[in-house]
Amino acid sequence: MTSDAGNQITALDPLADCQEIARLLATCEFSWDIERALEFALFRTYALPSISGLLDRTGEFARRPRKRYDDTELILSEILENGFDSERGRLALARMNDMHGRFRIANEDMLYVLSTFVFEPIRWIDRFGRRPMTEHEKSAWFQYHRELGRRMGISDIPSDRDGLEAVNRDVEATRFRYADSNQAVGAVTRDLLLSFYMPRWLFGIGRPAAHAFMDAPLLQAMGFSMPPEWLRRFMMMAMGLRRAVLRRLPPRRQPRRLTEIRRPTYPEGHRVEELGTFRCGPP
């Protein structure tokens, strides 16, 4: 069953209209899947000690993990949902660049993080989505993030998707390695994500279930225990069942915007200029 968003995407150009296609993919066509994929993409970035070490030293994850998560999701969603050149999009990009600019972050690390934003949703949707992403959609998703990376000041972004995927796979093959900071930041993030779905007393079941979605190199780099094979098979069967059900349900008609979801960190709603961390406290 073709969705309204899918028909709109087909009629758009993946280069000139990449912002609109990315918005339709993230808010209508694959809303839940893209959000989950980007959550698991976080763990892949933590598998680089240079990234996890910086995050661990700031202490933000230990003190305020939910706010750190919400700020990251909101900043990225403000840009995606409103557009690069909208007032809210410009404010969100400025906030992100200000935070990154206070630290010495290697370009190769920023480029790898950008690559996970591109490829983890594509891979997740190909495995678990109602349908795979089309080449048209993958091209637009890449072009959107290439422009996002340019506006973040990331250099040496490959001009094509294959080039960026080669960077992604090379980093994971050569730089994934265990560090205590990987485990510290990863464990806090994993338990935060589990808290969205279950009480803490069920985390003993939830942690192996979350690990079932991670490959062996990632688990080793994070210092997470390998889940039993039966559990991995069960989780994959459950996701396959979900996909079969979704194919029989009518497509989403109303967009699901992450910027409109009520959050405990911002009970009265958020202001873009107050998201994230500041040198001397928020304005």
The pLDDT tens digits for 65-100 are 899 999 999 999 999 999 999 999 999 999 999 989
The pLDDT tens digits for 96-121 are 999 898 888 999 999 999 999 999 99
pLDDT at position 282 is 47
The span from the CA of 162 to the CA of 252, in Å, is: 31
- From 50, 44, 53, select the one nearest 215 (Cα to Cα): 44
Would you tell me how many other CB atoms lie within 10 Å of the CB of residue 113? Answer: 20
The span from the CA of 175 to the CA of 177, in Å, is: 6
pLDDT at position 7 is 87
Asked whether the CA dihedral 261, 267, 271, 276 is positive or negative, the reply is negative
The span from the CA of 131 to the CA of 265, in Å, is: 34
What Cα–Cα distance (Å) separates residue 232 from each residue in 126, 144, 204, 208? 18, 33, 15, 9
Task: Give yes or no for residue 281 having a pLDDT over 90.
Answer: no
Which whole number is the average pLDDT over 11-31?
97
The pLDDT tens digits for 224-268 are 999 999 999 999 999 999 999 999 999 888 999 999 999 999 999
pLDDT at position 104 is 86
The span from the CA of 186 to the CA of 205, in Å, is: 17
pLDDT at position 283 is 44
pLDDT at position 2 is 67
The span from the CA of 23 to the CA of 19, in Å, is: 6
What count of Cα atoms within 13 Å lies in the side-chain half-sphere of residue 56?
A: 19
What Cα–Cα distance (Å) separates residue 167 from each residue in 71, 115, 143, 159, 230? 27, 8, 16, 12, 33
SS3 29: helix
pLDDT at position 243 is 97
Mean pLDDT of the chain: 94
Structure-model confidence comparison of residues 133 and 104, the more confident one: 133
pLDDT at position 280 is 53
Would you tell me how many other CB atoms lie within 10 Å of the CB of residue 97? Answer: 12
pLDDT at position 1 is 56
- Percentage with pLDDT > 70 across the chain: 98
Domain ranges, ordered by start, for the chain? 13-249
pLDDT band with cut points at 50, 70 and 90 for residue 61: confident
DSSP code of residue 224:
P
